[in-house]
Structure 1
Amino acid sequence: MKSNRFDAGFYSSKSILVALTLLAVAVASSTLKADKRGEQLYRNCTICHGPDGQGIPLQLAPALTALSEKYIVEQLKKYKAGIRGAHAEDTAGLRMLPMAQTMITEDDMQAVASYIVSLGSSPVEPTLEGGDPVKGQATYATCLACHGPDGRGNDLLNAPSLVNQHDWYHLAQLKKFKSGVRGSNPQDISGAQMRPMSMLLADEQMMKDVVAYIKTLGK
């Protein structure tokens, strides 16, 4: 009887081990397929964002690799639904609208977001002149609650990372938020959070100052 109980326990443990092994193989296979799918989908993005995801200024395309997967997916959803990028004055946004339509499902969006993040983030060279990072630091105090002292954002607050991003892109987005080109759609909840913050920046000089300070973060 003892032997039978031992054998039953042995085979039961062996069955569990086999099942766990098969599950691990299935998960690994699924992950590999998602990675390949993400890489395949991203090919449509390279003409503007580059093969390394660092963005191409001449295409008005930002760096993507420092953004979180969650934020990338949310922005793709907004573009696909016309919540972002549909304003007549949003030249760069209007280019993104048809590209977002290539993401048929949310799984596609998640796959391409995961692939983008896997590319790894690196600093991009500043291009703007005339910004004062010392003055910008004081202004950035109003950004701390959402974007954090290190500028790396907070997914829970729908606040993206600001580091390793082109300074011209930051300036362009601040102008869009302030003018209502971005963040004025009633369905854009996170954009609506940002718009009043941009209104605190009295002029382009204040914007350049805070952008100059942001460029000092993440180094």
Structure 2
Amino acid sequence: MWVSILHHNRYVILILALFVIVSNSMAEGNPERGKQLFATCVACHGEKGAGNIQFKAPSIAGQESWYLRTQLMNFRKGVRGTSPLDTSGLTMRPMALTLPDEQAVEDVIAYIKTFPIVAHQPTLKGDAQHGKALFAVCQTCHGPNAQGNESLHAPKLSGLPDWYIVQQLKKFKAGIRGTHPQDQWGQTMRPMALTLQTEQDMKDVAAYILSLSGQAETISTE
């Protein structure tokens, strides 16, 4: 009887060990495989993830892995990119669905993390000093240098182009983003966007965030 129990326990331990090995291998992305998968993304985001204003595709170079993962999964699940008013999101969702599984998502992220950080030039007229005052509300989650905070699910904003920041603030205000019942952190963001009364306020905040580029040290639990 004891021999039988011992063999059974060894079998259970072996299965658990194999499960841990498989789980760890799934969690680690392969940038070489990611490079092949990223070929679909190049047309809009560029070869090095610098983004393209014409396609409303943001810069993804320098963004944190956890946030890239969250948003790719949101697009795949339909949490983001399903509103008929979200034209760029509707374009992005089919692209996210070309990734066959979560391992592919990890591989693409691993490749994106090899890109150099991009320095963006202003495309909008904003008052950075006024934006600094308005950003006082935002820094509670996003940090004083817009470096982001994974524990609060607040992404890094430093390094994003100003036009994209304004575009997303508009979407949050209009309810195009941040209203899906499964988008817990988007729902947290929407009331913050509503504190900005005018489009010029958004441009001012974006101008201030753009001025912070290069000052951010990202807070991450990775």
Same fold (TM over 0.5): yes
1:189 aligns with 2:180: no
Q: Which residue identity does 2:109 align to in structure 1?
A: A
2:210 aligned partner: 215
How far apart, in 2, do the equivalents of 1:177 and 1:83 lie?
A: 14
Alignment-derived partner of residue 63 in structure 2: 67
Aligned partner of 1:120 in structure 2 is 116
Secondary structure of the corresponding residue to residue 168 of structure 1? helix
Q: Give per-residue Cα distances to partners, 1:48-105, cap 9 Å, x unaligned.
A: 0000100011111000012111110110100001100111100000001110111111
Match of 1:155 among 150, 160, 165: 150
SS of the residue corresponding to residue 141 of structure 1 reads helix
Choose from 22, 26, 31 the match for 1:35: 31
42, 58, 81: which one aligns with 2:54: 58
Are the counterparts in 2 of residues 66 and 163 from structure 1 also a CA contact under 8 Å? no
Identify which of 76, 80, 98 aligns with 2:94: 98
How far is 1:218 from its partner?
Answer: 2.3
Q: Flag as ranges the 4+ runs of structure 1 deviating above 2 A.
A: none
d(CA) in 2 for partners of 1:64 and 1:122? 9
Aligned length in residues: 190
What's the TM-score, normalizing by structure 2?
Answer: 0.82
Q: Secondary structure at the match of 2:211?
A: coil
Aligned counterpart, 2:134: 139
Structure 1 length-normalised TM:
0.83
Counting aligned pairs with the same residue, the percent is 43
Q: Is the contact made by 1:125 and 1:166 (CA closer than 8 Å) also made in structure 2?
A: yes
Find the counterpart in structure 1 of residue 220 from structure 2.
none
**Counterpart position of 1:206:** 201
Residues in 2 aligned to 1:202 and 1:86: alpha-carbon distance in whole angstroms: 26
RMSD of equivalent CA atoms? 1.7
Rounded to whole Å, the distance in 1 between the matches of 2:48 and 2:72 is 19
In 2: Cα distance, 1:41 partner to 1:212 partner: 34
Residue 169 in 1 paired to residue 177 in 2? no
Report the AA paired with residue 163 of structure 2: W
Q: 1:122 deviation in Å? A: 2.0
SS of 1:215 mapped into structure 2: helix
1:109 maps to what in 2? Answer: 105
Q: How does 1:17-28 map to 2 (within 5 A)?
A: none
Matched residue SS, 2:157:
coil
Q: For structure 2, list consecutive stretches of 5 or more residues without a partner in the other structure.
A: 1-23, 215-222
Would you say 1:86 and 2:82 are equivalent positions?
yes
Please list every run of 5 or more consecutive structure 1 residues that lacks an aligned counterpart in the other structure. 1-26
Q: Is the contact made by 1:66 and 1:165 (CA closer than 8 Å) also made in structure 2? A: no
Letter in 1 for 2:213: G
What CA distance in whole angstroms lies between the structure 1 residues aligned with 2:116 and 2:103?
21
2:120 alignment partner AA: V
Q: Which has the larger radius of gyration?
A: 1
